[in-house]
């Protein structure tokens, strides 16, 4: 299992547009990809409604994890996305 933590810097947090982009990115990988807000249980990055339900705001710390056959390239792509977009 690969994972990283990230503090959301986008003023709007993870709203519909970046959530949709995350889902499209996650669907390129076979691994189980999860996002968890600090203190919450992880939810799938492949389902937009589960991401939106977390209500992630600017300043929130999230943990992104990948588990499966392509976890390393998946976590690298997700890290790049978060650093460049959120």
* CA–CA distances in Å: residue 20 to residues 8, 45, 46, 52, 82: 16, 10, 9, 10, 13
Whether 15 is catalytic is: yes
What are the tokens at 69? 């056959």
What does the pLDDT read at residue 40?
A: 82
What are the tokens at 47? 């389902």
Domains and CATH numbers, the chain: 2-85 (3.30.1340.10)
pLDDT tens, N- to C-terminus, the chain (86 residues): 899 999 999 999 999 999 999 999 999 999 999 999 987 889 999 999 999 999 999 999 999 999 999 999 999 999 999 999 88
HSE-CB of 58 using CA atoms within 13 angstroms: 5
Which of these is catalytic: 1, 5, 7, 15?
15
């Amino acid at each position: 299992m690969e994972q990283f933590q990230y503090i959301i810097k986008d003023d709007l947090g993870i709203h519909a547009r970046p959530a949709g982009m995350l889902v499209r990115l996650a669907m390129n990988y076979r691994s189980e990809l999860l996002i968890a807000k600090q203190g919450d249980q992880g939810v799938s990055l492949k389902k937009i409604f589960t991401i939106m339900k977390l209500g992630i705001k600017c300043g929130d710390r999230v943990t992104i994890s990948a588990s499966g056959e392509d976890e390393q390239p998946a976590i690298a792509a997700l890290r790049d996305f978060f650093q460049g977009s959120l």
